[in-house]
């Protein structure tokens, strides 16, 4: 097998993008999984997609469009998730379908070839440039940095927002921060993985990690490892079988999730045994 391809700049760029995007997306995924808001994440990724298409149609930077529309979606969804008074799933469903509708509307309105739009839909990690990588790198550092710096506040907000509020943590601020981070990460990784596929790279690695551990920091770590593993293995398969890389990344992350679900110790909750406390507290 010829692996000289990995010597090429475009492949190295793709690998770096996969690593950085995998880390950023999987970290965001931990919030999405533990705060039970997968649908909100799907909605935001479609909002980013619609925004990017709006940019392509009207001729401004798709990244700005994606950022703007996903933040606007977060601004609508945030209060719904925050108050929890009406069933948020219904309203998120309405916004989700609106975003998908808008995306296809902008695509239809776009003159000329639609290759740019299709690239956003499927992703094109192989055409990533150094500046894309810079942006992915900044995102990954910011996301991981925020998790490390505000770990205890984030942990409390994820565990129970009202409780976090009642001990004096500005949990509402953190909720909005988390939504904002989700929107930004999706925006930045959109072009590499694609609007339709990005969400699996967010959800699957974190969902797999969720199956395997009762420790939150370990879950963040495992999710990042699975995210990177999905990206790299996906890229490899994409090269070997000459198929779109976004799709292979998603399939790999789903396989990792399935394996984690099958071997999950949490499936046997009754069989959970613990050592005496003295042996465990160090």
Q: Which of 215, 243, 258, 263 binds another protein (CB under 8 A)?
A: 215
Q: CB 101: neighbour CB atoms within 10 A?
A: 12
Which region, left, alpha or beta, applies to residue 129 given φ > 0 means left and ψ of -120 to 50 means alpha? Answer: beta
122 or 150: CB nearest another protein: 150
Closest approach of Cβ 27 to another protein, in Å?
A: 14
131 binds another protein (CB under 8 A): no
Burial class of residue 138, CB neighbours in 10 A (0-12, 13-18, 19+) = middle
**The tokens of 125 are what?**
């990690």
Q: Which of 162, 242, 262, 271 binds another protein (CB under 8 A)?
A: 162
169 binds another protein (CB under 8 A): yes
Residues 24-63 that bind another protein (CB under 8 A): 34, 36
List Cβ neighbours of 171 (8 Å cut-off, separation of 6 or more).
153, 156, 157, 161, 162, 164, 165
Q: CB 217: neighbour CB atoms within 10 A?
A: 13
Helix axes 171-193, 115-122, angle to 10 degrees: 120
Listed ranges 68-76, 131-139, 241-249, 271-279: which one lies at the site for another protein (CB under 8 A): 271-279
Given a contact cutoff of 8 angstroms between Cβ atoms, the answer to whether 202 and 5 are in contact is no
2 or 278: CB nearest another protein: 278
12 binds another protein (CB under 8 A): no
91 or 127: CB nearest another protein: 91
C-alpha 74: how far from chain center:
14
239 or 257: CB nearest another protein: 257
168 binds another protein (CB under 8 A): yes
**The tokens of 264 are what?**
């999950």
Residue 86: phi, psi to the nearest 5? -100, 155
3 binds another protein (CB under 8 A): no
214 binds another protein (CB under 8 A): yes
Closest approach of Cβ 227 to another protein, in Å?
A: 17
Task: List contacts with another protein (CB under 8 A).
Answer: 34, 36, 149-150, 152-153, 155-156, 159-160, 162-170, 210-211, 213-216, 218-219, 266, 269, 272, 274, 277, 280-281
């Amino acid at each position: 097998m010829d692996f000289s391809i990995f010597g090429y700049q475009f492949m190295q760029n793709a690998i770096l993008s996969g690593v950085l995007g995998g880390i950023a997306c999987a970290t965001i995924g931990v919030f999405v999984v533990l705060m039970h808001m997968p649908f909100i994440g799907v909605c935001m990724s479609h909002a980013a997609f619609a925004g990017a298409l709006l940019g392509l149609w009207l001729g401004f930077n798709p990244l700005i469009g994606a950022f703007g529309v996903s933040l606007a979606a977060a601004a609508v969804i945030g209060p719904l998730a925050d108050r929890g008074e009406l069933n948020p799933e219904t309203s998120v469903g309405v916004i989700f379908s609106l975003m998908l509708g808008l995306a296809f509307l902008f695509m239809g309105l776009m003159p000329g070839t639609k290759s740019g739009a299709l690239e956003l839909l499927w992703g094109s990690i192989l055409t990533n440039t150094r500046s894309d990588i810079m942006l992915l790198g900044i995102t990954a550092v910011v996301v991981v940095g925020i998790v490390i710096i505000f770990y205890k506040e984030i942990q409390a907000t994820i565990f129970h927002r009202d409780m976090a509020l009642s001990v004096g943590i500005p949990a509402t601020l953190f909720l909005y921060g988390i939504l904002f981070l989700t929107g930004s990460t999706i925006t930045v990784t959109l072009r590499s993985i694609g609007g339709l596929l990005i969400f699996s790279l967010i959800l699957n690695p974190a969902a797999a990690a969720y199956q395997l551990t009762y420790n939150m920091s370990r879950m963040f770590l495992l999710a990042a490892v699975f995210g990177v593993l999905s990206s790299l293995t996906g890229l490899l398969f994409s090269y070997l079988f000459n198929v779109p890389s976004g799709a292979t990344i998603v399939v790999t992350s789903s396989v990792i999730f399935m394996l984690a679900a099958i071997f999950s110790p949490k499936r046997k909750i009754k069989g959970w045994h613990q050592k005496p406390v003295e042996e465990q507290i160090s």
